[in-house]
Chains A and B, each alone.
Chain A
Amino acid sequence: MRVGLEVDGKARTADDVEVGESLLFLLRERLGLPGSKNACEQGECGSCTVYLDDEAVCACLVAAGQADGRRVVTVAGLSGDDGLHPVQQAFLDAGAVQCGFCTPGLVVAVHDLLRRTPDPGDAEIREALAGNLCRCTGYEKIFDAVRAAAR
């Protein structure tokens, strides 16, 4: 089947999409957009987190066909012409990136948290990021990045 959608502000189409294929596969393998990471394909790690219309969801759990006609924003779509988004910059500045595999999903999840809760407390941060796993940083630096981006 053919799937047409908007990704990071550009209209895209993919052909020969298979029925049970995920949005994550479509983004990475059919459209060549490797920003969203594939680490578990079972909704556990959050590294594939993208906005589908207005909601931050795991792209690996969305069927590609379900995204037909909809708007997707990946981590790559958060930065503008004037450089990195403040959340992205905060991750760099805080040293919240080691191997970087979890980073794209975390950046989207943090972006989503801060647009709803501009000044989150630790409990709110923890709850908002419960679906994003990082096996490198121990989360301290990630929390630092969230607090820095909130300022």
Chain B
Amino acid sequence: MTDTAAFLRPATLDEACELKAAHPDATPIAGGTDLMVGLNFGHTRPAALLDLTAVPELRAWRRTDDAVELGAGVPYARVVAELGDDLPGLARASRTVGSPQIRRRGTVGGNIGTSSPAGDALPSLLADRAVIEVRSVRGVRQVPAGEFFLGPGRNVLADDEIVVSVRLPRARGPQQFAKVGTRNAMVIAVASVAVSLDLTANAVACAVGSAAPTVVVPEPAETYAADHLDWSGRTPLHPEVAARFGELVAEGTSPIDDVRASADYRRHAVSVVARRLLGWAWAEAVRPRGTEGTR
């Protein structure tokens, strides 16, 4: 422990909640890959920091029958290394975050806390209908990812709450993620899309980042694709179905012009990426398991 109240370093989840209740103005810090940039440049001056990296409960994940409970403090590098089979979509997204240095520190909980519509972990969470568990001394809340984010940088967390974990269903089919940016490494997405197929329920899930104030789920596109894929025969995806899916996904967004791209470009990029991802995911579903190559 450190000797001042300003840098708080709980060793357990209970202690973290007690400290957050006693210091509601303390800013949680996990990997610091968002927070420290603001601190280094003097943009933010927190009254206190609540360091969550020594809380073991936050740094673990657990597999249940049909889900993975992923601790908020598990860094991307571990999602990539340990969860590629259970959560292929989130693992793919995690692989695109920043650089190796960033992936070793940055966490899914931090991505949730930052609540940027460009957060790369978020489309997978929304597509796969993840549930975010938040906790305070008052108790535990299970918040569906679709209800957690209110706008850029805004979410439903109260002053005394911290994010504990995310519960994601284990994949029941191929999952894809891709983002469009100006280069391969270290970019903030101009647009990002996650597509998951559920080969048990014959359902399609999709979410889009960086194309609205929060990550959005284009439900009409999901329903359209589910209705038009040949689930029993697994015949190849019809190009017209793929294209219409892309259009419907883009229609579900409300992008803006900004320094990274125009709204028109974003809408176009989203429809192209969504079309391709559905194609890749379906190709995996058609191919016998184990023969899929890397792309």
Contacts and interface: CB of A to CB of B under 8 A. Distances in A.
Interface size class of B (residues with CB under 8 A): 20 to 34
Q: Most A CB atoms within 10 A — which of B36, B102, B105?
A: B36
B46 interface: yes
A86 interface: no
A43 B100 contact: no
Interface in A33-79: 41-44, 46, 49, 55-58, 60-63, 65-66, 68
A65 B99 contact: no
A41 B101 contact: no
Contacts of A114: none
What does DSSP make chain B's interface, helix, strand, loop or mixed? loop
B32 A63 contact: yes
Contacts of B292: none
A55 B32 CA distance: 15
A41 B104 contact: no
Contacts of B100: 56, 109, 127-128, 130-131
A118 to B, nearest CB: 17
Contacts of A131: 98-102, 185-186
Nearest to B75: A55
B185 A130 contact: yes
Interface string A13-47: 00000011010000000000000000001111010
Interface string A126-149: 011011100000000000000000
B41 A42 contact: yes
Contacts, number: 102
Contacts of B35: 63
B163 interface: no
A19 B40 contact: no
Q: Most A CB atoms within 10 A — which of B7, B44, B48, B105?
A: B7
Contact of A63 (B41, B51, B101, B102): B51
Contacts of B49: 19-20, 63, 65
B9 A56 contact: no
B40 A66 contact: no
Q: Most B CB atoms within 10 A — which of A20, A42, A56, A68?
A: A20
Interface string B11-43: 000000000000000000101110111011100
B189 to A, nearest CB: 16
A117 to B, nearest CB: 12
Interface of A: 1-3, 19-20, 22, 41-44, 46, 49, 55-58, 60-63, 65-66, 68, 109, 127-128, 130-132
24 contacts: A1-B4, A1-B6, A19-B7, A19-B49, A20-B44, A22-B39, A43-B37, A58-B33, A58-B105, A60-B40, A61-B32, A61-B102, A62-B36, A63-B7, A63-B29, A63-B32, A66-B29, A66-B51, A68-B9, A127-B185, A130-B99, A130-B185, A131-B102, A131-B186
Interface of B: 2-4, 6-7, 9, 29, 31-33, 35-37, 39-41, 44-46, 48-49, 51, 53, 98-102, 104-105, 184-186
Given A43-B101, A109-B101, A130-B186, 7 more contacts: A19-B49, A20-B46, A56-B100, A63-B7, A63-B29, A63-B49, A131-B185
The 9 closest A-B pairs by CB, nearest first: A131-B99, A130-B185, A20-B39, A65-B7, A41-B40, A1-B2, A61-B36, A19-B6, A131-B101
